[in-house]
Homo-oligomer: A and B are copies of this chain.
Amino acid sequence: MTVRVAVAGASGYAGGELLRLLLGHPEVEVGALTAGGNAGTTLGQHQPHLVPLADRVLADTTVDALAGHEVVFLALPHGHSAEIAAALGDDVLVVDCGADHRLTDPAAWRRWYGGEHAGSWPYGLPELPGAREKLRGARRIAVPGCYPTVVSLALAPALAHGLVEPNAVVVAVSGTSGAGRNLKPHLLGSEVMGSASAYGVGGTHRHTPEIVQNLSVVAGRPVSVSFTPVLAPMPRGILATCTAPLAADPGDVRAAYATCYDGEPFVHLLPEGRWPTTGATLGGNAVHLQVTVDPDAGRLVAVAAVDNLTKGTAGGAVQCMNLALGLPETTGLSTLGVAP
Contacts and interface: CB of A to CB of B under 8 A. Distances in A.
Interface of A: 13, 16, 20, 23-24, 44-52, 54, 167, 169, 171, 173, 175-177, 179, 181, 183-185, 187-199, 201-203, 208, 224-228, 230, 232-237, 239, 241, 243, 268, 270-271, 274-284, 286, 288, 290, 292-299, 301, 303, 305, 334-340
A227 B279 CA distance: 23
B194 A237 contact: yes
B20 A336 contact: yes
A105 to B, nearest CB: 14
A93 B43 CA distance: 40
A112 B303 CA distance: 23
Contact of A173 (B199, B232, B336): B232
Given A171-B241, A176-B190, A192-B189, A236 B275 contact: no
Nearest to A338: B283
Nearest to A26: B26
Contacts of A268: 51, 54
Contacts of A284: 49, 51
B198 A239 contact: yes
B279 A224 contact: no
Contacts of A283: 283, 338
Contacts of A45: 274
Contacts of A281: 49
Nearest to A340: B190
Nearest to A198: B303
A234 B23 contact: no
Nearest to A225: B297
A294 B194 contact: no
B191 A279 contact: yes
A291 to B, nearest CB: 9
Contacts of A340: 13, 16, 177, 188, 190-191, 195, 235-236
A193 B190 contact: no
10 contacts: A45-B274, A48-B337, A189-B191, A194-B278, A194-B282, A196-B278, A196-B305, A201-B275, A201-B303, A283-B283
B201 A301 contact: yes
B301 A173 contact: no
A67 to B, nearest CB: 27
Given A44-B271, A276-B198, A233 B188 contact: no
